[in-house]
Structure 1
Amino acid sequence: MRQASPANLNNLSFLQLGVALLTAIAIGFSSIAEASAANSRYAAIVIDANTGKTLFSANADAARFPASLTKMMTLYLVFERLASGKLQKTTQVPFSQYAAGQPPTKLGIKAGQSVSVETIIYSMVTKSANDSATAIGEFIGGSQAGFARLMNAKARALGMTNTHFENASGLPDPQQHSSARDLALLGLALREHFPQYYPYFSTHSFTYGRQRMANHNHLLSRVKGMDGIKTGYTRASGFNLVSSVADGNRRIVAVVMGGQTARARDDHMADLIANYLPKASGRSGGGDLIAKAKEDKADDTRIAAAAPIAAPAPTPERRPEKKSKAAAAQPADETKAAEEPVVQAYAEPVPQSKAAVLDAVDPIATSATKAPSGWAIQVASSPDAQQAKSLLTKTGKDASSILADARGYTVPFEKGGVTYYRVRFGGFASKSAAWDACGALKKKKIACYAILE
């Protein structure tokens, strides 16, 4: 066998070193490349929490389903009322039949029972409990519609220009949407406005009765300096995460949305933190980046008129649709047991009257729920706003696989002195994509035609 010369050995060693370095670089940045490639749900942003400067951005202003990241706004409104004295940590929150009937993940409180506000908080930041979010939403807002009104008003006050909420939990609703940038802004606001309550987000586990609830944010134990904030998952949204992390005076808030799996999302987030935290400003004491949100006295007046905060929340007449035992066992947020849980469609409580629907914030497309530009499909039209919204929800549920990447909305128009509401789904990349979606819907006996907004 021919032996290699010293020169050849040196060349070989240099080549092996180069390959090793390139491999290390490829491993370090693989999740960023993978996240960006051919994933229509993906969006991300990294913001310097000291200066407000955007350090990294990918589809940051695109509309995305927030899933359980919605609970960040629910908690913002809870913290706001704790800070003002309108709520106490020991205040008991009753669970209506509707709240108790929410799908997992959940705390599991029976209808008619109550738990403290602090228990609600812990169950939301760790287990992402949907029943707790719904119960506190009904308690503060009098109903889900009333609480959504407060959520949307607060989103506008904070400058979240591409966000619209329909419920307190983040369970699927085709009209509920946000963006990576808006959610980063909300993360900054939570830390800046409520430093006394923000440490709840770093809770690793919480025990209630015999239940031990581990935090779904596995990076709390993996990334040094991370102090929160929240995970989220639905089939339509993919795996989402908002993170806050500090190194000395450097601090960033980062958002990743649309991960294919919880691990892929976590790896991508870890890469972003490793790459951009060293680039953040080291200055401190610069003051708030976000203006302190002023209390909206009109909101408080409406709450008092609808249902005093100390009163039990009303029980909706219609309960959530029954699910099979197998379906009910699937979580609405990720768990260690399953990286790709199945989320069942969410049955929105039926308002008691048409006036109740029209009184809600942004029930029809406005600046907060404006129609996405480009190609869309129309599936129905109705002179009744409530019926239009019901059709929107039903279609999104019946054709969830076809419309997974589309955003539902309604558009009002006048005809013969009567206001009608078109039911549409938008966000298609091309005419052919909209036509293909219509073709698939028609096979399900859902009427459809494509339009250019």
Structure 2
Amino acid sequence: MQTKKLSLFPLVFALAAGGLAPGSAAFAAPQKPAAAKKAAVEGPAPLQGQTAVAGGAPALAAKAWLLMDFDSGEVLASANPDEALPPASLTKMMTSYLVEQALRTGKLKKDELVTTSQNAWCRGSSTESCMYLPLNGQATVIDILRGIIIQSGNDASKAIAEHMAGSEENFAKLMNAEAQRLGMKNTHFVNATGLPDPAHKASARDLAILARAIIRDSSEYYPLYSEREFTYNKIKQGNRNALLYTDPTVDGLKTGHTEAAGYCLVTSSKRNGMRLISVILNTSSAQARADQSRTLLNWGFANFEKATPIPANTAVGTAKVKFGKAETVAAGLAGPWTVTVPRGQKVDTAVQLRPDVEAPVTKGAVIGKVVASSNGKPLAEAPLVAQADVERAGFFLRAWQAVSGMFGK
């Protein structure tokens, strides 16, 4: 097993270019009854999504799908976004995220060695994704991370789970705790790999939330998600995300496939300063998940644009201040603020200032918020902060202000 040489690069590239059909011999699998094979080829019926775009969203042949704006976290279009479905190897995004955060905080070191147990070891099987770690051998954490992200290694995922938590079961508890912290409301993890289990589920919305967290919190390690191949133990394997080979704006994230989950893909693309995240769950083939992700991303970039509701460093209101040397303080944005809206749509803003601002006030303190809306639908909101310090008044001035307030001044 240790001298086996594999390369998925030609396979993935041909798939991305449309040169291999889903029924190609390269995808050969144990024979199924004719009815089952027909259902697998046909896949789910096209599913129409919800969106604010007047012309509607595309209909995609998947059990669930979603398009999210990275900057705001706003869902731009979706279909069946909250149903808990088998996520297959999309699970490994949480595994890699926990590894990345442990590296970021110093709980793990890049060159720290991880041992492959009997439980984690892939036994030379071609029925699952493997990094091909040697039994009882050791690999560095950073190689393990590459094995998870690029090669989708079940052995790498199990090995790091045992290394970090003592067992895969304990690691799943860490995964669920992190999912809860991130606001993933329809997700439950049982293992670190995504191998089938009736209780192991995630929704399209939750997986987009997780992808957004990876891009936001793991900037040092996010480039790994765009690497096209990785060689370990003299075995070269290609990234299964076909869009990495055909679209230079795509830089992640993860593929997944089991019989129960179908073919799944979470993708991120950045064009002209706008980043979108797409999630496609349960399509009929590797080609279908790539094609549908490409369709959804192209539609998103064609139908949405960035808007700046209020320029940075601009005062948008004046808040009254109780018991201060100044009676008011200007309110403005803490920094640049953009929202993503359907192209050509007007953005309205509404300022809401706190009525109970009391001195002392520190410059930068939150004293309200501004809400952006379009066609009466709220889009996003941003905090408004004090643009200056306001010192607390002395005793006699505070007393005078209190008395004046009683008489309605």
The TM-score range, normalised by the shorter chain, is: 0.5 to 0.7
Is 1:36–2:41 an aligned residue pair? no
1:118 to 138, 142, 163: 142
Is 1:274–2:298 an aligned residue pair? yes
2:169 to 139, 145, 148: 145
Which deviates the most, 100-109 or 241-250? 100-109
Deviation string for 1:278-324 (max 9, x for gaps)? 334436976899xxxxxxxxxxxxxxxxxxxxxxxxxxxxxxxxxxx
CA distance in 1, matches of 2:179, 2:66: 18
Question: Contact 1:192/1:288 (CA < 8 Å) preserved in 2?
Answer: no
Question: Contact 1:106/1:129 (CA < 8 Å) preserved in 2?
Answer: yes
Question: Contact 1:250/1:283 (CA < 8 Å) preserved in 2?
Answer: no
In structure 2, the CA distance between the partners of 1:288 and 1:147, relative to structure 1 (3 Å rule), is farther
In the alignment, structure 1 segments of 5+ residues that lack a partner are 1-30, 290-453
CA distance in 1, matches of 2:261, 2:121: 24
Deviation string for 1:72-119 (max 9, x for gaps)? 000111001100111111111101100004752112223211111111
In structure 2, the CA distance between the partners of 1:91 and 1:35, relative to structure 1 (3 Å rule), is farther
Question: Contact 1:43/1:180 (CA < 8 Å) preserved in 2?
Answer: yes
Matches within 5 A, 1:1-16: none
Q: Cα distance, 1:33 vs. partner?
A: 9.7
CA distance in 1, matches of 2:140, 2:220: 18
In structure 2, the CA distance between the partners of 1:251 and 1:140, relative to structure 1 (3 Å rule), is same
Deviation string for 1:156-198 (max 9, x for gaps)? 0000000000000111111000000000000000000111111
In the alignment, structure 2 segments of 5+ residues that lack a partner are 1-41, 49-58, 309-334, 340-409
1:81 to 102, 116, 134: 102
SS, match of residue 72 in structure 1 = helix
Question: Contact 1:162/1:182 (CA < 8 Å) preserved in 2?
Answer: yes
Is 1:50–2:61 an aligned residue pair? no
Deviation string for 1:392-420 (max 9, x for gaps)? xxxxxxxxxxxxxxxxxxxxxxxxxxxxx
In structure 2, the CA distance between the partners of 1:41 and 1:219, relative to structure 1 (3 Å rule), is closer
CA distance in 1, matches of 2:43, 2:88: 22
More helix by share: 1
Aligned partner letter, 2:90: L
Is 1:98–2:119 an aligned residue pair? yes
Aligned partner letter, 1:218: A
2:279 to 230, 246, 255: 255
Is 1:210–2:231 an aligned residue pair? no
Name 2:205's counterpart in structure 1.
Answer: 181
In structure 2, the CA distance between the partners of 1:130 and 1:33, relative to structure 1 (3 Å rule), is closer
CA distance in 1, matches of 2:46, 2:227: 28
2:246 to 208, 212, 222: 222
Q: Cα distance, 1:50 vs. partner?
A: 2.0
Taking only aligned residues, the RMSD between alpha carbons, in angstroms, comes to: 2.6
Question: Contact 1:64/1:237 (CA < 8 Å) preserved in 2?
Answer: yes
Matches within 5 A, 1:311-326: none
> Number of residues paired by the alignment?
259
Name 1:72's counterpart in structure 2.
Answer: 93
Name 1:233's counterpart in structure 2.
Answer: 257
Matches within 5 A, 1:52-451: 52-101=73-122, 104-282=128-306
Q: Cα distance, 1:277 vs. partner?
A: 1.9
CA distance in 1, matches of 2:136, 2:150: 23
SS, match of residue 240 in structure 1 = strand
Q: Cα distance, 1:125 vs. partner?
A: 1.4
CA distance in 1, matches of 2:136, 2:338: 41
Aligned partner letter, 1:154: E
Question: Contact 1:166/1:175 (CA < 8 Å) preserved in 2?
Answer: yes
* TM-score, L = length of structure 1: 0.54
More strand by share: 2
Name 1:295's counterpart in structure 2.
Answer: none
SS, match of residue 47 in structure 1 = strand
CA distance in 1, matches of 2:172, 2:43: 34
* TM-score, L = length of structure 2: 0.60
Deviation string for 1:304-359 (max 9, x for gaps)? xxxxxxxxxxxxxxxxxxxxxxxxxxxxxxxxxxxxxxxxxxxxxxxxxxxxxxxx
Q: Cα distance, 1:36 vs. partner?
A: 2.2
Question: Contact 1:48/1:280 (CA < 8 Å) preserved in 2?
Answer: no
Question: Contact 2:62/2:280 (CA < 8 Å) preserved in 1?
Answer: no
In structure 2, the CA distance between the partners of 1:157 and 1:106, relative to structure 1 (3 Å rule), is same
SS, match of residue 302 in structure 2 = helix
SS, match of residue 78 in structure 2 = strand
Deviation string for 1:211-239 (max 9, x for gaps)? 11100001011123101000000000000
SS, match of residue 98 in structure 1 = coil
Question: Contact 2:73/2:212 (CA < 8 Å) preserved in 1?
Answer: no
Q: Which protein shows a greater Rg?
A: 2
Question: Contact 2:47/2:60 (CA < 8 Å) preserved in 1?
Answer: yes
Aligned partner letter, 1:51: S
